[in-house]
Amino acid sequence: MKKAAVIALLIAAIAGICLLFAGNGEKETGENASYLRVHIRANSNSECDQAVKYRVRDKVVEFLTPTVAGCGTKEEALAKIGGKLSEIAATADKELRANGYTYGARASLRQEKFPTRVYDGVTLEAGVYDALILELGTGEGDNWWCVVYPPLCFTGGNANVIYQSKIAEIIRKFYKK
């Protein structure tokens, strides 16, 4: 009888631990909840698809900058970007067409897992983040990541941060909190 009770307790403890860890990776927590990421996925890893991904990135960042520059909170950025998803996709489509591509783009807001990334001294821990996802064509190629809120714009795969006037001011305010 004693043996059965111990086994039952062990099974319950293991089940509880499994449930606890299963839930942790599925929602934003702590620091993750303050960021809105962007993920632009290329159609493929071909040289031309990768090159157009960066052209699209430049146009989308240019389009988004005035939208997020005035946002005081991540929730405000989510709402504004959420209202412009079709315009974001259209901006990407226009750049794709201008460069001779026939596939289109899809923009969505959703939660997604990201690995740990360090951007010029700012470490974003691995975890689930709210993100603007922009898929070009099949979206199966290498991708480009950035942070939409606070509005940090990172270039390519390196850790250099490019701040633009109002954006730098918002970032400084965000980190003083």
Q: Over the stretch 62-111, which tens digit does the pLDDT of each residue have?
A: 999 888 888 889 999 999 999 999 999 999 999 999 999 999 999 999 99
Residue 154 lies in a domain: yes
Read off the pLDDT band of 121 (50, 70, 90). confident
> Is residue 149 in some structural domain?
yes
State pLDDT tens for residues 126-165: 999 999 999 999 999 999 988 888 877 533 333 333 434 3
Write down the pLDDT at residue 92: 97
- Could you tell me if residue 146 is inside a domain? yes
Looking at the domain assignment, is residue 158 inside a domain? yes
With 80 as the cut, is the pLDDT of residue 19 above it?
Answer: no
- The answer to the question of residue 9 being in a domain is no
What are residue 87's phi and psi, to 5 degrees?
-70, -35
Give the total number of structural domains in the chain: 1
Evaluate whether residue 22 is within a structural domain: no
In-domain check, residue 55: yes
Domain limits at 56?
A: 30-176
